[in-house]
Amino acid sequence: MRLYFTLIKNTKAKAIQCGFEQMNILCIMDTFSFETFKYEANFIQVTPNDWKDVCQTVKPDLLFVESVWQGKDHTWKGKISEISNEIIEIIAWAQQNNIPTVFWHKEVPPHFFTFMRVSKLFDFIFLTDENCIDRYKKSVAHERVYVLPFGCQPKIHNPVTTGSREQAAFFAGTYYPHYKYPIRAENFDALFDAISRYVDIHIYDRLDGKGKYRFPSKYTNHVHGSVPFSEMKNIYKKYQFGINMNSVKNSNTMYSRRVLELMASNTFVVGNHSDGIKKEFGDVMICSDDYKVIESSFKQIFSDQDVRQSLTLQGLRKVLKNHTCGQRLAAVYTAVNGILQDISPQVPTVVLADCKESNDIDQVVEMFDQQTCGNRKLYIVTKAKHDHVVHKHALLFEDGSDAIKAMFLQHDAFFLSIFNPHSFYGANYLLDMILAFHFAQVDTVTKPGSYDEKNNRFYQKNHFSEYTYAEYFYTSCSMMTSSFVKNLTYTQLVKEKIEAKCLVIDRFNYCKDQRLCPSISVMKNTVAGDKTLPV
């Protein structure tokens, strides 16, 4: 079968790449979509006046058009839904040149029919709401209709911060009045009343108080004006809590970008009920229309920092694993080419452990087996005697230098993590390190510190602030790219401290000395961060 557009494999370890970077995608998008997707491939925004010139200099692999109202510089206003000559011409040109055409209808179900006629001109159609797919297939009389929810861009929306967060909540969006959207308005009022008992709420009005969608006088003192798209990423990380509102409540796939962007920013989310959000994120955020449920849950979240930070980490993990723009583009690739495309990191994770005793080997193997990430290898350096097969994925070496050489002989690129047999590494330790490379612009990610014990109390002892950059790290609680490792000797790797810029992530899933942990339950709930949402 002929591939419409070819995937370029990329094995770079630093800043995880999905493999589409060399693709040329001619597109008509709104600002939000373009700014988030442009990092995944060479997305080229065109206007009715310049697309022909662009196509003379660039050979597109794909034409991607979404249900825009205005497009780049407002040049497509009224030209998509009304099927202008310009949109007909660009589609015809693409099809004549054997370039697949994709239409993403992200306005369903409210504007189900608005873009129906124009979508019929495209080879492939994608909808944000899976509930609309069967109806849409009947209307367009073919089967090439697929679901494509919103995604987030970790290079824009991520937890990396430069300062402390305000102990407050915020909402960025529009107020929908009771007379037009009574359920949404009631939901917002309930959320506001429940949360404002505990924290101040700042409102960033998308319409800046203009028109019929202005916020009622009840909220006047909370409104802080509007914020441009370029500044929203900073607003997301300015607060501990973010409010999310959904107008579509009965879809498993149609929910706002905001909930994904907030979670990617490591902000705790409180929102009204949505079937999709409840199904995907209901265990890591407050998702309800009931004032009593919201108030009771928020009270507990507000008063317990450990629970809140554990839940935000779990939300971040879910988004980075399943809801990035790279994964959305991979879904388009899969549908267009009929070939399942997995964009999970192609490079393996290598765990290196220096084991003095046979018991050390057993300890390392046990923690290695519990890791939730796939594609991992275990390299053990030891002279200890052992009378059994250590592990099917393990290689044993007597000399550490030989282990390093073997890594580079067997793998073009890899992530390296060093396990100390006397430390604790929770199940998501490696996975969270790997996922951090979605937004880390350095070769190493590390933990902020460890847990310690004083006066029979278990507490966190940090060297660094979480989600900041630091100038040194300790190898036994870090992950490095192979491009960084190639400049180090085995002795340097195991001596612990290395001076180099690194990204500090969360504090969970690591304890330097597991003997300090008073019980398995404390280890699991405090160190591993397996907190649950209060009910």
> Does residue 3 fall inside a structural domain?
no
2 φ, ψ to 5°? -75, 135
pTM here is: 0.93
Q: What pLDDT sits at residue 106?
A: 97
For residues 527 and 424, is the Cβ–Cβ distance under 8 A? yes
3-state secondary structure 287-310: ECCCHHHHHHHHHHHHHCHHHHHH
pLDDT above 90 (res 386): no
Report whether pLDDT(58) > 50: yes
Which element (helix H / strand E) includes 320? helix 305-322
Least confident window among 270-284, 394-408, 443-457: 443-457
Q: What pLDDT was estimated at residue 450? A: 75
**10 has a pLDDT exceeding 50:** no
Are 117 and 252 in a shared domain?
no
The letter for the amino acid at 198 is: Y
Whether 68 and 196 map to the same domain: the answer is: no
Q: Are residues 370 and 509 in the same domain?
A: yes
> Which residues are within 8 A (CB) of 185 and not within 5 positions of it... i.e. 6 or more apart?
175, 176, 177, 178
Within a domain: 172: yes
Are 294 and 269 part of one and the same domain?
yes
Claim to verify: residue 357 and residue 481 sit in the same structural domain: yes
The whole-angstrom separation of Cα 188 and Cα 289 is: 9
Distance in angstroms (rounded) separating the CA atoms of residues 203 and 194: 15
Same domain, 135 and 172: no
Percentage with pLDDT > 90 across the chain = 79
Domain with 188 in it: what CATH number?
Answer: 3.40.50.2000
* Listed residues 97, 120, 150: the one ending a domain: 150
Is residue 103, in this structure, part of any structural domain at all?
A: yes
| pLDDT averaged over every residue in the chain | 91
Asked if the structure places residue 254 within a domain, the reply is: yes
89 located within any domain: yes
Q: Residue 13 pLDDT > 80, yes or no?
A: no
Structure confidence by residue, pLDDT tens digits, 118-164: 999 999 999 999 999 999 999 999 999 999 999 999 999 999 997 89
User: How many angstroms separate the Cα of 518 from the Cα of each of 246, 291, 506, 510?
Assistant: 44, 39, 22, 15
Structure tokens given for 80: 């998509």
Q: How many independent structural domains does the chain possess?
A: 3
Q: Are 430 and 479 in contact (CB under 8 A)?
A: yes
pLDDT tens-digit readout, 490-524: 999 998 899 999 999 999 999 888 876 655 455 55
Stretch 259-283: mean pLDDT: 98
In a domain, 4, yes or no: no
Residue 286, C-beta contacts closer than 8 angstroms, at least 6 positions apart: 269, 270, 271, 293, 294, 297, 298, 301, 533
Give a yes or no: residue 341 inside a domain.
no
> What CATH number is associated with residue 469?
3.90.550.10
**For residue 535, is it within any domain?**
no
* CA dist., res. 381 & res. 402, Å (int): 9
Per-residue pLDDT at 515: 73
The rounded distance, in Å, linking the Cα atoms of 151 and 141 is 28
Domain interval for residue 403:
349-527
Q: Is the peptide bond before 109 cis (omega within 30 degrees of 0)?
A: yes
Question: Are residues 280 and 427 both part of a single domain?
Answer: no
Tokens linked to 99: 């370039």
Lowest mean pLDDT among 49-53, 205-209, 367-371: 205-209
